[in-house]
């Protein structure tokens, strides 16, 4: 059934936007059509100009049939999107059950080929060689698409057709503001790796690596010398920036701590390091994420004070699993802009514009507010 909450339509008669969501026990193509029809009903429209469609990974085998069903329901060919481990709108989300989330765009607002330096919505296969376009200066937001277990590429579609590689599109007659919330707290200053062998780090600032971590843990963080907590990370930084500067710029890479050795007082990280690399120990925690998300939303609202819709990509480890069965990032958007249409997906790699350019990050939420600009 359509969401009963008040719907925020575009302030211009020439454009209207709405979302639809559908879920069931089986990944039937009709779910995609149902999500589109729900959105069209909410704006009293019989057809759409464009559709942004996200499907859960359950649709991996019949993605084209689902996309075609959505295209027929929308009576348009401009359907873009991908499969993802989870999908959501402003009112519903699904990580375990088959689901479809659709954003219907009518009138002036639509999906178009990127041009004129507008931010680019980018969906790419996890195994795709994406570095050639990550280095450009045009802001990008999006995600790497995978199957539910993150072991294989997901499905991507553009112009209503599933195709491998990458989907790049922009929103016409819109302004977009993008912010990144990574929700980490630095436990130490930036330090230099002084002894390492591949993934094994033995010494940092000439101290045993494990010691540099354990002595800075907060009292409420459960960890032992042999099993660091799951929300502890090494944050790899570039150049000579401080931990505070790296966090402010977003210019760091989170590396999970895979294990620890009490005998050697070493740590095993998810990426090989070499002497001279610099890192700080960091903690991901819901409280820091909520605060960070609020600051990001404040920044977005200052740029787009009256948005028409929102698009968000969040790490599967950042959404409801992280916040205790509620997506606080979505809740904060709804609190600030009640009824604002929002769509997005949960995945394992978020594409975001950082201070040093576009990058693929993790454990984060990348949010865009989009406002209609009358032509």
Instruction: Show the tokens assigned to 282.
Output: 């960091």
Q: What is the mean pLDDT of residues 266-271?
A: 94
Query: 29 or 147, which is more confident?
Result: 29
Q: Which pLDDT belongs to residue 221? A: 60
pLDDT tens, 31-84?
999 999 999 999 999 999 999 999 999 999 999 999 999 999 999 999 999 999
With cut-offs at 50, 70 and 90, classify the pLDDT of residue 9: very low
pLDDT attached to residue 7:
46
Average of per-residue pLDDT across 167-189 = 92
Q: What is the mean pLDDT of residues 250-261?
A: 88
Tokens 């950042």, residue?
Answer: 318
Is the confidence at residue 135, as pLDDT, over 80? no
Residue 126 has pLDDT above 60, yes or no: yes
β-strand pairing of 309-315 with 200-204: unpaired
Q: What is the pLDDT of residue 228?
A: 65
Compare 212 and 8 and report the one with higher pLDDT.
212
pLDDT: is 174 or 128 the higher one?
A: 174
Tell me the pLDDT band of 28, cut-offs 50, 70 and 90: very high
> What is the side-by-side order of every strand in the sheet holding 120-125?
111-112, 166-171, 120-125, 140-145, 350-354, 357-361
Cα-only R_g, the chain? 21
Query: What's the whole-number average pLDDT of the chain?
Result: 89
CA neighbor of 10 nearest in space, from 375, 344, 343, 341: 341
The pLDDT score that the predictor gives to residue 128 is 60
Q: Are strands 184-186 and 174-181 parallel, antiparallel or unpaired?
A: unpaired
SS3 at position 214: helix
pLDDT at 225 over 60: no
Q: What percent of the chain has a predicted confidence (pLDDT) above 90? A: 64
**Statement: residue 4 has pLDDT above 50:** no
What's the pLDDT at 12?
Answer: 40
Can you say how many angstroms the Cα of residue 304 is from the centroid of all Cα atoms in its chain?
20
At residue 242, the pLDDT reads 86
User: Which residues are bridge partners to 350 per DSSP?
Assistant: 143, 361
Which of 25-39, 203-217, 292-306, 316-330 has the weakest average pLDDT?
316-330
């Amino acid at each position: 059934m359509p969401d009963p909450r008040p719907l925020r339509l575009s302030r211009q008669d020439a454009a209207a936007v709405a979302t639809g969501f559908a879920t069931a026990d089986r990944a039937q193509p009709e779910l995609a059509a149902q999500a589109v029809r729900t959105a069209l009903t909410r704006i009293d429209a019989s057809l759409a100009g464009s559709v942004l469609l996200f499907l859960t990974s359950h649709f991996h085998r019949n993605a084209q049939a689902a996309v075609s069903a959505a295209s027929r329901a929308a009576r348009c060919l401009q359907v873009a999107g991908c499969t993802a481990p989870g999908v959501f709108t402003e009112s519903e989300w699904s990580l375990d059950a088959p689901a479809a989330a659709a954003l219907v765009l009518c009138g002036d607002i639509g999906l178009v080929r990127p041009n004129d330096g507008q931010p680019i919505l980018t969906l790419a296969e996890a195994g795709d060689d994406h570095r050639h376009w990550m280095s450009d200066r045009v802001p990008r937001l999006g995600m790497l698409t995978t199957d539910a277990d993150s072991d294989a590429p997901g499905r991507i579609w553009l112009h209503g057709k599933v195709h491998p590689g990458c989907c790049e599109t922009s929103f016409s007659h819109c302004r977009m503001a993008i912010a990144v919330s990574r929700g980490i707290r630095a436990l130490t200053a930036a330090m230099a790796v002084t002894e390492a062998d591949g993934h094994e780090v033995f010494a940092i600032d000439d101290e045993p690596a494990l010691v540099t971590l354990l002595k800075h843990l907060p009292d409420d963080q459960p960890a032992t010398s042999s099993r660091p907590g799951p929300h502890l990370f090494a944050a790899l930084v570039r150049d000579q920036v401080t931990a505070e500067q790296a966090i402010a710029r977003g210019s760091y890479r989170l590396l999970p701590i895979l294990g620890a050795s009490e005998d050697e007082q070493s740590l095993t990280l998810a990426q090989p390091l070499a002497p001279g690399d610099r890192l700080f120990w960091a903690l991901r925690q819901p409280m820091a994420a909520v605060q960070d998300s609020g600051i990001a939303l404040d920044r977005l609202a200052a740029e787009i004070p009256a948005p028409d819709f929102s698009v968000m990509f969040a790490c599967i480890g950042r959404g409801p699993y992280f916040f205790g069965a509620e997506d606080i990032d979505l809740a904060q958007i709804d609190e600030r802009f009640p009824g604002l249409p929002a769509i997005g997906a949960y995945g394992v790699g978020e594409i975001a514009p950082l201070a040093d350019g576009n990058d693929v990050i993790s454990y984060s939420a990348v949010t865009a507010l989009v406002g209609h600009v009358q032509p």
